Amino acid sequence: MNFRSDNESPISPAILGAIEKANIGMAYSYGEDLISQRLLARFSELFEHEVEVFPVATGTAANALAISQLTPVYGSVFCHEMAHLYSDECGAPEFFTGGAKIVPLSGELAKIDIETLENVMGGVGDLGVHETQASAVSISQSTELGTIYKVHEVQQLAKIAHSKGLGFHMDGARFANVIQSLGCTPAEMTWKAGVDILSFGATKNGALAAEAVIVFNQDRVQGLDRRHKRAGHLFSKMRYISAQLETYIKDGLWLELAAHANKAADALSKGFYKLSQYSPIEVLYPVEVNEIFVKLPESVAKGLKSRGYEFHHWPGTRDVYRLVTSFFTDLKDVQEILLATKELCDLKNIDEDKGNSCL
């Protein structure tokens, strides 16, 4: 029973089927096949805007390529201190940008604090040629703590960035979970709110090494075709990546898959909330997509692991654990881990006492 990561989920059968369907005969290479040629129209339709689409194999590549479009080598990119591109991509953004500086900012719930960004932007340019050129702001949507920037928050941050001439990037590794959770349109969450470039994730939500850099702002696209090739992401057999992305966004599959992941996380967090009323368990942050951060007594965490439940200890903490659900999470496993937790907390009677059957 794996609650370690949505990266450990399999491929959605519909997406695997799309790969198989694309597997007939010869097809033009390097994105000149019919499926890849259709992608632009499909994504433009989805976002209600003319976009450019660059399929890549990983979220790291999507972020690093996107960022490299927004900054010169002597520039700086502002993001949250927990952002994947700052702390988890082994310097790929610095490498792809040719050495731009990534500047971490603080903020509650892994979201860049609006006032902090305003203050930082207020000082931009004070040191003239001695400082790196402030060039972009990047946000993770959803964040590394499974929280979400609301549309108005994205608008505010993008407005501040744009007012100083900076580009605005969104790391949407779990973009589907966000759109499903908020119920807004992809357009409202991106270009209408001021996003210039989006890293559009699909792998965590049922695809096989298929992500895309989506450019909304035509002023920011120049040269990305060459960067894409230079980074080694212009696949010769692009049709198989494109087929996945096409099927993923067709007929709402992406949101359907995300809905299941979010529903499982919601059920899991509600169960933990209930248990937290009777035990030292604590759900730490709002559960807005498919990630749950929970404080567990060591004996409970150990007990769950020994019963075969897998989840990560959160680095830098003593007793915080992260549980992640996916489109593949079995709701039965959710019920079972809650029952096991209840047992390990010695709370067998709480349902009877409170007449509450949420476990």
Ligand X SMILES: Cc1ncc(COP(=O)(O)O)c(C=O)c1O
Point out which residues bind ligand X (CB under 6 A).
7, 58-60, 63, 84, 140, 171, 173, 203
Q: Which is nearer to ligand X, 143 or 341 (CB)?
A: 143
- Smallest separation, CB 315 to ligand X (Å): 14
Of 114, 113, 160, nearest to 134 by C-alpha is 160
- Smallest separation, CB 60 to ligand X (Å): 3
Q: Which is nearer to ligand X, 171 or 288 (CB)?
A: 171
- Smallest separation, CB 346 to ligand X (Å): 35
| Cβ 196 vs Cβ 168: under 8 Å | yes
**Nearest-CB residue for ligand X:** 59
Q: Which is nearer to ligand X, 79 or 338 (CB)?
A: 79
Which DSSP symbol is given to 120? H
Q: Which is nearer to ligand X, 63 or 132 (CB)?
A: 63
Give the distance from CA 79 to its chain's centroid.
14
Q: Which tokens go with 125?
A: 């340019």
Distance between terminal CA atoms of the chain? 17
- Smallest separation, CB 126 to ligand X (Å): 32
| Cβ 173 vs Cβ 199: under 8 Å | yes
Q: Which is nearer to ligand X, 177 or 341 (CB)?
A: 177
Q: Which is nearer to ligand X, 83 or 337 (CB)?
A: 83
Q: Which is nearer to ligand X, 93 or 194 (CB)?
A: 93
Strands, E, within 57-193: which ranges?
75-80, 101-105, 133-140, 167-172
Q: Which tokens go with 305?
A: 């692991």
CA dist 317 and 283 (Å) reads: 14
| Cβ 290 vs Cβ 325: under 8 Å | yes
- Smallest separation, CB 204 to ligand X (Å): 7
- Smallest separation, CB 198 to ligand X (Å): 12
- Smallest separation, CB 165 to ligand X (Å): 25
**C-alpha to C-alpha distances, 325 to 106, 131, 248, nearest whole angstrom:** 27, 42, 18
Give the distance from CA 3 to its chain's centroid.
17
Q: Which is nearer to ligand X, 33 or 196 (CB)?
A: 196
Q: How large is the greatest C-alpha to C-alpha distance in the chain, in angstroms?
A: 69
Cα atoms in the 13 Å half-sphere on the side-chain side of 325? 29
Q: Are strands 101-105 and 133-140 parallel, antiparallel or unpaired?
A: unpaired
- Smallest separation, CB 59 to ligand X (Å): 2
Q: Which is nearer to ligand X, 58 or 269 (CB)?
A: 58
CA dist 89 and 78 (Å) reads: 15
- Smallest separation, CB 124 to ligand X (Å): 26
292: helix, coil or strand? Answer: strand
DSSP lists the bridge partners of residue 136 as: 77, 167
